[in-house]
Amino acid sequence: MNGFRPRGRRSVHTATAIAFTTTALALLAEVALSPSAPPAPPESVLAGRSDPSREPPQGSAQPLPASRPEHIDIPEVGLSAKIVPVGTTADGAIAMPKDADRAGWYNGSPTPGEYGNTLVVGHLDSANGPAAFYRLGALRKGDRISLTRQDGTRVGFTVTRMAVHPKGDFPSRSVYAPTSQPQLTLITCADWDDSQQRYRANLVVTGHL
Amino acid sequence: MQKATPAAIAVLTVIAGGTALAPAALAADETGGNSLHATLSPVPTNKVTGSGTATVHLQGHEATITIKTQGLLADAPHAQHFHIGAKGQCPPASAAKKHNGSLSMNTTDGLPFYGKIGASLTTTGDTSASHAALAVDRFPKGASYTYHRTLTVDEETATSLRSDNAVVVVHGIDYNGNGKYDNNLGPSDLDATLPSEATNPALCGPLKTAPAGAVAGGMGGTQDGDTMALTAAGGLLVAAGGVMYLRRRGIRQN
Ligand SMILES: [Cu+2]
């Protein structure tokens, strides 16, 4: 799906020690270069640390009227997805879109271009392969994110912060805090735990106008 | 199926060193209450350039409220309320009317959207809708302020808050920019002894349930195969004495 089709597994031949090593390196190279590898966020933001970032300027332009976001595009990392509205789950978390190829705008948050903290979530992967926010980890500070609203206007945000937070110690108050200026917060999963077969953390990307 | 994630290796390697760094977070509903957020935006047509935020934690009928504002008319009192019982929205520009010849929004114009007053967010004393609604000596003053108070709301207001139907409205505008409340828009629709500028809505924000906790944003479909492949490769490299190469390669990958 999405053109990220993995290549077939290479069989491992064992003959001499040299062949052994060569095969290992070849397999590793294939693994490392496979286009299906989810991009990692910058090392500096892992383990709950977040990049220091300047605060957005106060008192900037007048906000746009409400109009819900319908599409997200981040050309620099090849991310392009439709956005659907989502609510919350029974335990209060932002619900995920049923279709993993779509991103979800939390319908209790402002629409992009209004004042406030616009919250958009997406799957990193489905059970079968890459999903809407698969490429989010490839973002870096300064990259541009474009949101297209139902009224046709586009609102651009610049990435100002990236952070990875453990799910069990997630700083909800700061991530979801209302803001007086337009802010975009993108959230997906990070940190695969192979023994538990689950992601242990969330990647949080923050953008400002 | 083989899908690679040296990224996963990188994340695991780095995170293992310091998981305790993130600040502790209280889940929104840890205490059984409701946490609500609002962004306060200028009411259209009223020539307001300010902004603000509001957070409310509701426990039964006890509402703990924090409101932060900026850019309002300085040195002037700003009446503020929970409005309830309508659409739970802020009025669009199309709700404005001509008042004393000037297109603007008075409190009545916005009622179909944010509804009637449910509670008066005074600094001290009475907080009821009926008696304290325009108690100008007991509302915050100034261009920028932080308001914090715990007060008791009635059943109707509590229900409105819980159903994402309540709206924070901060009043008091300076339509003609002369630095004070005057009668350029005529008398107030709420109290004819006050100028309309003193009671017109300035900032407005619908209160919505704050999300709690991390999201479930992945099912691992790009991970399962990888780990096998990486384990295979890693095992071979260990045999070849090259495990450090694997680690460095994994971390560098983006
Ligand atoms: Cu009011």
**Residue A55 domain-assigned?**
no
Active-site residue, selected from the candidate residues A13, A71, A165, A189 = A189
A62 has a chain B CB within 8 A of its CB:
yes
Q: What is the pTM of this model?
A: 0.77
**Residue A45 domain-assigned?**
no
Q: What is the helix (H) or strand (E) element at residue B129, kind and residue range?
A: none
B158 and B52 co-located in one domain: yes
pLDDT of B42 strictly over 90: yes
Query: How far is Cα B47 from Cα B174, in angstroms, rounded to an integer?
Result: 7
A53 has a chain B CB within 8 A of its CB:
no
B243 has a chain A CB within 8 A of its CB:
no
The reported pLDDT for the residue numbered A36 is: 53
B160 and B226 co-located in one domain: no
| A67-88 core/surface letters (b: 16 or more CB in 10 A; e: else) | bbbbbbbbeebebebebbebeb
> If we measure between CA atoms, which residue out of A97, A104, A91, A83 comes closest to residue A126?
A97
The reported pLDDT for the residue numbered B133 is: 75
B82 and B200 co-located in one domain: yes
Please state the domain count of chain A: 1
Q: Report the residue of chain B nearest A89, measured CA to CA.
A: B211
B27 and B147 co-located in one domain: no
pLDDT in tens, A116-146: 999 999 998 888 888 899 999 999 999 999 9
**Residue A48 domain-assigned?**
no
What is the rounded (10 degree) CA torsion for A20, A23, A28, A34?
-170
**Residue B215 domain-assigned?**
no
B26 and B12 co-located in one domain: yes
**Residue A57 domain-assigned?**
no
Q: Is A22 left (phi over 0), alpha (psi -120 to 50) or beta?
A: alpha
pLDDT in tens, A7-37: 333 333 333 343 444 444 443 433 333 435 5
Return the sign of the alpha-carbon dihedral for residues B253, A145, B48, B168: negative
**Residue A99 domain-assigned?**
yes
> If we measure between CA atoms, which residue out of A205, A161, A165, A160 comes closest to residue B22?
A165
B80 and B201 co-located in one domain: yes
CA of B119 to the centre of ligand 1 (A): 9
> If we measure between CA atoms, which residue out of B165, B88, B45 comes closest to residue A65?
B45
**pLDDT band (50, 70, 90) for residue B150:** very high
Active-site residue, selected from the candidate residues A13, A123, A165, A208 = A123
| Domain harbouring A141, CATH code | 2.40.260.10
**Residue A53 domain-assigned?**
no
Residues on chain B touching A123 (C-beta within 8 angstroms)? 217-219
Query: How far is Cα B72 from Cα B78, in angstroms, rounded to an integer?
Result: 9
Residue B198 lies in domain: 34-209
What is the complex's ipTM, to 2 decimals? 0.75
The reported pLDDT for the residue numbered B239 is: 37
In this structure, what are the phi and psi dihedrals at residue B150, rounded to the nearest 5 degrees? -105, 125
pLDDT in tens, B215-233: 987 777 887 654 444 433 3
Please state the domain count of chain B: 2
B180 and B60 co-located in one domain: yes
Out of B63-72, B149-158, B213-222, which region has the weakest mean confidence (pLDDT)?
B213-222
**Residue A59 domain-assigned?**
no
| Domain harbouring B181, CATH code | 2.60.40.200
pLDDT in tens, A162-187: 999 999 999 999 999 999 999 999 99
The reported pLDDT for the residue numbered B33 is: 85
B92 and B160 co-located in one domain: yes
The reported pLDDT for the residue numbered B36 is: 97
Q: Residue range B61-77: average pLDDT?
A: 97
Question: For the packed helices B243-252 and B6-15, what is the interaxial angle rounded to 10 degrees?
Answer: 100
3-class SS string, A1-57: CCCCCCCCCCCCCCCCHHHHHHHHHHHHHHHHHCCCCCCCCCHHHCCCCECCCCCCC
In chain B, positions 40-69, which contact chain A (CB-CB < 8 Å)? 40-42, 44, 49, 51-55, 68
Query: How far is Cα A170 from Cα B142, in angstroms, rounded to an integer?
Result: 36
What is the rounded (10 degree) CA torsion for A166, B8, A83, A58?
50
pLDDT in tens, B91-146: 999 999 999 999 999 999 999 999 999 999 999 998 988 777 788 889 999 999 99
B40 and B19 co-located in one domain: no
Distance from CA of B153 to the nearest CA of A (A): 22
pLDDT in tens, B8-40: 333 332 333 233 222 223 334 456 789 999 999
Query: How far is Cα B116 from Cα B158, in angstroms, rounded to an integer?
Result: 14
B42 and B146 co-located in one domain: yes
Q: Residue range A66-92: average pLDDT?
A: 94
B104 and B150 co-located in one domain: yes
Q: Report the residue of chain B nearest A140, measured CA to CA.
A: B254
Q: What is the mean pLDDT of chain B?
A: 80
Cα-trace Rg, chain B: 27
In this structure, what are the phi and psi dihedrals at residue B236, rounded to the nearest 5 degrees? -65, -40
What is the rounded (10 degree) CA torsion for A80, A84, A90, A92?
70
The reported pLDDT for the residue numbered B157 is: 97
Pairing relationship of beta strands B116-120 and B146-152 according to DSSP bridges: unpaired
B245 and B180 co-located in one domain: no
CA angle B208, B209, B210 (to 5 degrees): 110
Query: How far is Cα A58 from Cα B36, in angstroms, rounded to an integer?
Result: 23
B219 has a chain A CB within 8 A of its CB:
yes
> If we measure between CA atoms, which residue out of B251, B220, B223 comes closest to residue B17?
B251
Long-range pairs, B18-24, Cβ under 8 A, ≥24: B18/A47, B18/A48, B18/A49, B19/A47, B19/A48, B19/A166, B19/A169, B20/A48, B20/A169, B21/A47, B21/A48, B21/A49, B22/A48, B22/A165, B22/A166, B22/A169, B22/A170, B22/A171, B23/A171, B23/A174, B24/A169
pLDDT of B87 strictly over 70: yes
**Residue B214 domain-assigned?**
no
Residue A163 lies in domain: 11-40+67-208
Distance from CA of A149 to the nearest CA of B (A): 17
The reported pLDDT for the residue numbered A71 is: 97
**Residue A156 domain-assigned?**
yes
